[in-house]
A and B are shown apart, each in its own frame.
Chain A
Amino acid sequence: MDASQPARKDRSIPLWRDERYLRIFGQIVFLVILFVFLGILVRNMLANLQQQGLSLGFDFMKITAGFDIGEHLIPYDRSHTYLDAFLVGLLNTVLVSILGIIFATILGIIFGLARLSNNILVQSLARVFIEFLRNIPLLVLLIFLYIGVFLQFPRIKQAIELPGPTLISNRGIAIPWGIPTEVYGTYLRMLAGAAILACLVGFGLSWYGRRTGRSTLAWFWGFITFLIAAAIGWIALPISPLSLDQPAVQGLRVAGGRSLSPEFMALLLGLVVYTSAFIADVVRAGIQSVSRGQIEAAKSLGLSSLRIMQLVVLPQALRVIVPPLTSQYLNLTKNTSLAVAIGYPELFHVSGTVLNQSGRAVEVIALVMAIYLTISLITSAFMNWYNRRVRLVER
């Protein structure tokens, strides 16, 4: 009898006042309104496209691009397809993002530590630098660096020569670069062997460290092993695997070496200094989050300042640092798209050209957004993985 009581009560509530049904009904209404709205947009779009004689589809990606891209990591010329052009742009974006993230992290840590220095001069210089960069738009900085700095260098004939030799002119910066010789392939195989050896040393030492409870600096020695093996390989080969190619002025252009275009340099430098100001604040906040008592306790245990940093401060600071650092990395990656204003051929710039040539606005924009979204998701997945690893330190 008792068990049937609530059931009968339920039946006495009319359907339109039963919250369980109302919730489902409400969601259905919401979804219907949403899809009708989106449907109207898509229908209008299709009608408009038809009026212009266009149809949707990614077939156009196989058409010959017919435009040149100044910088490409894979072989490319104007006879390649739009798809290849996209790939070139994507690779350029990835290149700038990775280099930018590495340099911005290094510079950001330096400025973050300088901001905490006992030396008041260093501290205030870092502070001025950070406050200045945080409060101006990145785009203004990029355009200023491009037009106001990198294009203002002397012409090639009067190029500034720095030791190296590095040639600086308004066409970019040329640095010496290695050219693979015939033994380069063999050397690459040797490097792979060295990497395996280094991994063995690293894993072995960390296993030994876990077993004995001693700190073995496992990956430091692994890295040293790799360096030594790589050096031995370099010396052991009959001719060196890379021959040095030095840049030199030849008439109106620089021959040899590796030329870094002004667009690339301005973009990289702008992204690095801008992001490093934000990373510096992240690092500072992270280190400040470790209470002074911890450091004093570590000192009273007789640890050296390096060991305090390694064993006490960093593991705790990283927990605070990693999540906001992730969003800075994501920002940097997304900000590479600002290169469109200074003409570095990254993904967004290339897709703009493709859009103008092919008129396929919808497909191109959808593709570009999907690619950026994927890059963002991959970056944040990686950083989340790292964050979980750091979190494991927590007791």
Chain B
Amino acid sequence: MGTNITPLANPLPPPTERYSLLGWMHKNLFSSWYNTLLTIITLGLIYAILKPMLNWFLIQADWEVIQVNIRLLMVGQYPQEQIWRIWLCLYLLAAIAGLSWGVWVRGRWFAGLVLLAVPVLISLFPAFSNVSRQQPLILDLIALTSFGIGWVRGKPMRRVAVTLWLLYFPLVILIVRGLAFAEIWMPIVSSSLWGGLLLTFLLTIAGISFSFPLGVMLALGRRSSLPAIRWVSITYIEVIRGVPLVTILFMASVMVPLFLSSGTPPDRVLRAMLGITLFTSAYMAENVRGGLQAIPHGQYEAAQALGLSGFQTMFYIILPQALRLVIPVLLGLFIALFKDTSLVATIGLLELLGISRSILAQPQYVSFQKEVFIFISLIYWVVCYFMSYGSQRLEKSLGVGER
């Protein structure tokens, strides 16, 4: 009679833990006497830190110095009548980002809306009051349009989006620098005029895009069965990883002119880019090597069984999988590099940190150190934080951890 147990069709989920506010506080803040003590001490600490900070932010801080110098901080001495080129780069970015969102993400309406709101919100800050207010709206419009295209066309646009991302970085450098044959509407802007956040981004982009092929080559070289190639790669990677970036930047700025035969040496920005590329490629190589090592050996054997040559195995079977694995790590490298570009201030380039120091060197702004440094820290922080958040999401969506 009662012996046969039928499984429930819809078993209820386990009951969720539910606390009242008091219960939650008891569990998380006052569960034992030392926990209570800890809570009280931490509250005191937070008060001690927060009170002077808020006081300074709301009452003492004077953000006029940012407002006056916002253009210097953003683009350095880039000529005013050419600024539309920077905006063009941003439009392109908005278009590609919108397209990718439409092709890959599709859902996540809330996150998308937040991203759309960011340019508008930034332009509302008093510091940016000198910047045109229509630009964020144009940016949003472009992003929405391309999002629509990506949404409607779907999968066929994937290849387009990937190509655009790959083309974007060289294109940005071209647009910012100008074209020799199109003197009239895109005259060349000497790199000595690049500065501020623009230069920070350009150095990062150049570092990543140039060090990528070099890093892949070094990673393959380190795993090569030919001892000469392997040892040269290992030596390069270990030497570069053993010395600080400043020394390499110094070498690039002092010794590169010596290494070249004669004539005018490459300008300082180019030399800094060279130093950054040499430095990053060693780290890139190690990351790519990690990806290569994660590919199971069966893949090589299967490729061999199909009669593919060594090169074919590498380029059609192994590298595409390995590079997919290292995308999140590359984003991490991008973040690290973005922070590390601040070191070029020590060889006299005017990127975000360098230009802030030169602004603060003017007598009328000497007393605004805190404002300026907090402002640029905030810029670095926002960019890095959101990129690392993005890399975590990407890691999840690529399922890297689950392999």
Contacts and interface: CB of A to CB of B under 8 A. Distances in A.
Interface string B330-371: 000001000110110110000001000100100000000110
B259 A125 contact: no
B179 interface: no
B220 to A, nearest CB: 13
Interface in A227-268: none
A144 B258 contact: no
Contacts of A131: 385
Q: Which label, helix, strand, loop or mixed, suits the secondary structure of the A interface?
A: helix
Contact of A148 (B42, B225, B258, B370): B370
Given A118-B28, A361-B258, A372-B247, A139 B345 contact: yes
B346 A335 contact: no
B247 A368 contact: yes
A365 interface: yes
Given A118-B31, A122-B38, A373-B239, A138 B247 contact: no
B244 A337 contact: yes
B258 A362 contact: yes
Interface in A350-395: 352, 355, 361-362, 365, 368-369, 372-373, 376-377
B289 to A, nearest CB: 15
B343 A373 contact: no
B366 to A, nearest CB: 10
A192 interface: no
A369 B353 contact: no
Contact of A140 (B39, B250, B376): B376
A341 B38 contact: no
Contacts of A334: 243-245
A119 B43 CA distance: 12
Contact of B243 (A28, A138, A362, A372): A372
A140 B227 contact: no
A44 B258 contact: yes
Contact of A369 (B243, B342, B343): B243
Given A44-B259, A125-B46, A137 B28 contact: no
A368 to B, nearest CB: 6
A340 B369 CA distance: 19
Contacts of B227: 27
Contacts of B241: 376
Given A27-B228, A119-B28, A372-B243, A125 B45 contact: yes
B376 A369 contact: no
A122 B42 contact: yes
Contacts of A207: none
A121 B42 contact: yes
A27 B226 contact: yes
B261 A44 contact: yes
A140 B380 CA distance: 10
B400 interface: no
A330 B242 CA distance: 8
A26 interface: yes
Given A119-B29, A372-B244, A372-B247, A143 B228 contact: no
Contacts of B260: 44
Best-buried of A120, A140, A141, A148 by chain B (most CB within 10 Å) = A140
Contacts of A369: 239, 243, 247, 251
B232 interface: yes
B254 interface: yes
B35 interface: yes
Interface in A9-66: 23, 26-28, 30-31, 34, 41, 44-45, 47-49
Nearest to B30: A119
B145 interface: no
B28 A144 contact: no
B369 A137 contact: no
B373 A143 contact: yes
Contacts of B251: 365, 369
A143 B242 contact: no
A312 interface: no
Interface in A311-342: 330, 334-335, 337-338, 340-341
B39 A139 contact: no
B247 A365 contact: yes
B377 interface: yes
Interface in A108-140: 117-122, 125, 131-132, 134-140
A160 to B, nearest CB: 15
Contacts of B29: 119-121
A143 B193 CA distance: 24
A365 B250 contact: yes
Contacts of A141: 377
A137 B342 contact: yes
Nearest to A51: B262
B339 A361 contact: no
Contacts of A48: 257-258, 262
Contacts of B245: 334
B384 interface: yes
B86 interface: no
Contact of B38 (A45, A49, A119, A135): A119
B45 A361 contact: no
Nearest to A47: B261
B152 interface: no
A190 B258 CA distance: 57
A383 to B, nearest CB: 14
A30 B228 contact: yes
A83 interface: no
A118 B380 CA distance: 31
B373 A144 contact: yes
Contact of B35 (A23, A118, A139, A147): A118
B162 interface: no
B369 A376 contact: no
Contacts of B394: none
Contacts of A135: 335, 339, 380-381, 384-385, 388
Contacts of B239: 369, 373
B152 to A, nearest CB: 37
Nearest to B227: A27
Contacts of A23: 225-226
Best-buried of B259, B374, B385 by chain A (most CB within 10 Å) = B259
Contacts of A134: 384, 388
A94 B75 CA distance: 39
Contact of B229 (A30, A137, A348): A30
Nearest to B377: A136
B381 A132 contact: yes
A117 B229 contact: no
Interface string B369-396: 1100110110011001100100000000
A117 B342 CA distance: 35
A145 to B, nearest CB: 10
A335 B244 CA distance: 7
B255 interface: yes
10 contacts: A31-B232, A44-B261, A45-B259, A121-B28, A121-B29, A134-B384, A135-B380, A136-B380, A140-B373, A144-B370
Given A139-B342, A369-B251, 7 more contacts: A27-B229, A45-B259, A135-B335, A135-B339, A136-B380, A337-B247, A376-B243
Closest 4 pairs between A and B when the two form their complex, measured CB to CB: A135-B384, A27-B228, A376-B242, A334-B244
